[in-house]
Structure 1
Amino acid sequence: MDILIKIAQLFLCFTILVGIHEFGHFIMARIFKIRVEKFYIFFDPWFSLFKFKRGDTEYGLGWLPLGGYVKIAGMIDESLDTDQMKQEPKPYEFRSKPAWQRLLVMLAGVFMNLLLAIVIYCGICYTWGDAYFSNYDAKWGYNFNQTAQQMGFRNGDRFVSIDGKPIDNIAVLQNDLLITESGRQVVVDRAGEEVTIDISLDELIDMRQQKAFENLFTLRLPFLVDSVSFASASEAGLQVGDEIVGIDALQNADYLDYKKYIEAHPGEELVMSVKRNGARIDSLIVPVNADGRIGVITRSPYQLRTQQYTFWESIPAGFHKAGKTIANYWEQLKLIVKPQTKMYEELGGFVAIGSIFPSSWDWQDFWFKTAFLSIILAIMNLLPIPGLDGGHALFTLWEIITRRKPSEKFLLVAQYVGLVIILALLIYANGNDIYRFFIK
């Protein structure tokens, strides 16, 4: 059932993204009175799932979910229809229009995906606000996994800055740490003293390749007494508001470590140290019952901070989120093309994309992922690869600048080359999925 929910989210997301992208091309072509012969969500080699015709345009749903397309009359595109190009240009064809109009038609899909992301982010800000855990609330610091400890982090460290930039939102902390083309300098607060940890690029590359960034750090949970439920705990001296900071030889641990220690000593008496009103009280003798409990109820001190937005405030907030997402993804894309970062090994296909969706339906999360993927689709389509919008736009810009139009033969050959490049990227990305699933 979980996998079906993931597939349903992926399918709905792709339908929205491809539909809005192709609608951009479609509507801009119609504005300039260019005939659109086909409008398809997903590709339809050999057959389509359904189709109907209205006016000059055939609308349909293909069976191959690798994208979608609009077939614009008089344009060399992924349909590779050369018969039409052998005929004399007609006024309603793409090739008969001025270069600036053709450029706008090519870029309209990218524009619509960016606009969709902005609208979604604005809607998220207005509907749910901006909820996050603040690093400034992490007074007890973090617990770090083995890889982070090998880099120099210690349980209880609290982040101060990364490369001189202060840290607030914990949700983006890991991304800020990992997405870089060089090493990182991290300053942490360790028991009131600032400690600098230098992390090399090689260490970051190894961490990404080994997936060691999973649970890289987690909020450290203190043992705070919210209420006393056993008379024995009260008689031993425990009070509401106490923070247990030591049990026997186990000192300065977090709640889960203390809990495991208590459960491992049923029927015994433990020597505890607590903090109460800023003072430390040692040597409280607290009995453990046969079930491995001391008779207190704990509480978590952490709460989400939520920035609420009015309708008008949500608009600049949405633009800001979209801008930051674009900047972050562009940084990742630059790292992929740099061999020394080895981030090309992390490319994934449809399995990787589908895996980012949760196994239960959460509309807020769905729209977050849809906005993010919409930005990815926009940026990827802007790449100057023949067959993508960026490739078409590049040739049109060349025509505008040089006043010389590339020949149709050249455009056709470029389209073939572009399709080969795109197919190779698809095979590589989805091959990585298969490799990681079956071999790694």
Structure 2
Amino acid sequence: MDILIMVGQLLLGLSILVGVHELGHLLAAKAFGMRVEKFSIGFPPKIAGFKWGETEYSVGAVPLGGFVKISGMIDESMDKEFADKEPQPYEYRSKPAWQRLIVIMGGIIVNVITGIIIFVGLTYWLGEQYYPARLMDNGIVASSLAQEIGLKTGDKIVAVNGKALTRFDDITSRDVLLGSGAYYTVERGGEQLRIDIPNDLIGQLSRKKLGGPFVEPRFLFSVGQVDPKGPAAAAGMQAGDKITAIDQMPIVYFQDVQQALSDKAGKTVNVAISRKNTIDTLQITVTEQGRIGFAADLDRPVETAHFGFWESVPHGATAAFGIIADQIRAFGKIFKRELRAEDSLGGPILMAQMFGATWDWVRFWRITGALSMVLAFMNFLPIPALDGGHVMFILFEMVSGRKPSDKFMGTAQQVGMILLLSLMVFAFYVDIAKIFR
């Protein structure tokens, strides 16, 4: 069932994004009097379709893309039958370069607009939720990777790149993961230290299985809901209890409980609890999963910044374009060999995992908005067979006054398709390799 939910969200998200992308091409083409022969969401074989006017609308069985077939244009269909015929007024090739440029850019523009609308809507309806920096009052729990770069459990990160920390999330912001020369300012033992962040931190995070966050706050806690069928309930633990020790190991933070139980699977432990100013000791058998059967009530404040509609527009647009900026910075790291391509790229399996095994509409629209901006960016790359490749050739024509021949365009399209298919195979390989890593 989990897989079906992940796949369902992926297919719905891709269908929306591919649909609006191809619609951008279609509307621009029709606006300039070009004949659109086919509009498809998904690649053949065709599952269903209908014809309206001169255009056949269909849904294909391969849901990893889509296409618009415009008369007189060499595209992924590799149809060149028109090349030996006299150009017709309704054909793509008969139109001025500036009109063809707008038609090619139509899909990219609509994807950008879609991404902005989604992020503006999310900002307006939900605001921006974040963990305030005061979560740092008790210091952090450092993962193994955080310890490798010099952080320690108990450190208090007070600044990132010299700027005072206001939101806990800024510890792993895009400036940290995609920047160069980033550093933390840390309070440790009454002193302030500088911890340099390696330029390939994002790659290391992708490769290593940390079993938890890179860093997280140390949370004060009390016992929340107790599993009525678990060993803690059987021993008499109740909601509101405070655990003070496990096998005489002092417990202050929730992470202390996790550490104390980490090697006690199947064993009985003595759990000291405080309840209404009295201390009691419970004997609890730890499950094979290293748990005793309660949910922690964590001292974890979440703050929300709310915005009016007109305030949401620049905030949402900034969030949307920030994704494109992240893509550019990630490519820069790849070219500088600070990030391996396989750590940055992913295919349909990774995208499905991003959506998750539960249907959360907020998460769905966040991911769909991000993918819309990524799709716009990737399509703008100057690779033949992508929109960016067509843009490159049209700009060459506009500057030089010479139009590339149909033969050249056909060859370029074939080369581009080979590159794209190779990239898809590589993306599937990366996805599968991450599963078995």
TM range (shorter): 0.7 to 0.9
Alignment of 1:394-413 (within 5 A): 394-413=392-411
Q: Is the 8 A contact 2:247 2:270 kept in 1?
A: no
1:401 is displaced (CA, Å) by 1.0
1:61-87 deviation per Cα after TM superposition (whole angstroms, max 9, x unaligned):
011122101001111111111101221
Match of 1:266 among 270, 273, 277: 270
Give deviations 1:227-267, integer Å, cap 9, x for gaps. Answer: xxxxxxxxxxxxxx999999998568523425876997638
- What is residue 34 of structure 2 aligned with on the other side? 34
Letter in 1 for 2:26: F
What does residue 236 of structure 1 align with? none
Identity percentage over the alignment?
Answer: 38
* Length-normalised TM-score, structure 2: 0.84
Tell me the equivalent position of 1:57.
55
Q: Does the aligned pair in 1 maintain the 2:133–2:166 contact within 8 Å?
A: yes
Q: Please say if residues 142 and 217 of structure 1, whose CA atoms lie closer than 8 Å, have aligned partners that are also in contact.
A: yes
Question: What's the secondary structure of 1:67's corresponding residue?
Answer: strand
For 1:205 and 1:330, the matched residues in 2 are separated by: 16
SS of residue matched to 1:266: strand
The alpha-carbon deviation at position 205 of structure 1 amounts to 4.1
Within 5 A, what are the aligned runs for 1:270-349? Answer: 286-290=279-283, 299-349=297-347
Alpha-carbon offset, residue 184 of structure 1: 3.3
What's the RMSD between the two structures over aligned residues? 3.1
Aligned to 2:86: 88
Between the two proteins, the alignment pairs up a number of residues equal to 406
In the alignment, the residues of structure 2 paired with residue 139 and residue 259 of structure 1 have an alpha-carbon distance, to the nearest angstrom, of: 20
Unaligned runs of 5+ in 2: 225-239, 286-294
Could you tell me which residue of structure 2 aligns to residue 426 of structure 1? 424
Q: After alignment, is 159-168 or 302-311 more displaced?
A: 159-168
What is the aligned counterpart of 1:198 among 180, 196, 199? 196
SS at match of 1:356: helix
- From the superposition, tell whether residues 258 and 390 of structure 1 become closer, same or farther in structure 2 (CA, over 3 Å): closer
Work out whether residues 160 and 166 of structure 1, in 8 Å CA contact, stay in contact via their aligned partners in 2: yes
SS at 1:38 equivalent:
strand
Matches within 5 A, 1:21-420: 21-44=21-44, 47-171=45-169, 173-176=171-174, 179-180=177-178, 182-201=180-199, 205-212=203-210, 214-223=212-221, 250=249, 253-257=252-256, 266=270, 286-290=279-283, 299-420=297-418
Deviation at 1:225, TM superposition (A): 9.6
Are the aligned partners of 1:38 and 1:70 in contact in 2 as well (CA < 8 Å)? yes
- Indicate conservation of the 8 Å contact 2:72/2:93, yes or no: yes
Please report how far the alpha carbon of residue 215 of structure 1 lies from its aligned counterpart in structure 2 after TM superposition. 1.8
Query: Deviation above 6 Å: which 4+ runs of structure 1?
Result: 241-249
Structure 1 residue ranges without an equivalent (≥5): 227-240, 273-283
SS of the equivalent of 1:40 reads strand
Alpha-carbon spacing, 1:399–1:323, altered in 2? closer, same or farther (3 Å): same
Task: Give the residue type in structure 2 aligned to 1:51.
Answer: G
SS at match of 1:188: strand
Structure 1 residues 204 and 113: alpha-carbon distance in aligned structure 2, compared to 1, 3 A threshold: closer
> 3-state SS of the aligned residue for 2:299?
coil
Are residues 413 and 257 of structure 1, via their aligned partners in 2, closer, same or farther at CA, if it must alter by over 3 Å? Answer: same
Contact 1:139 1:158 in 2 (8 A): yes
> Is the 1:181–1:341 Cα contact (8 Å) retained in structure 2?
no
The TM-score with structure 1 as length reference comes to 0.83
Query: Whole-Å Cα distance in 2 between the matches of residues 410 and 225 of structure 1?
Result: 70
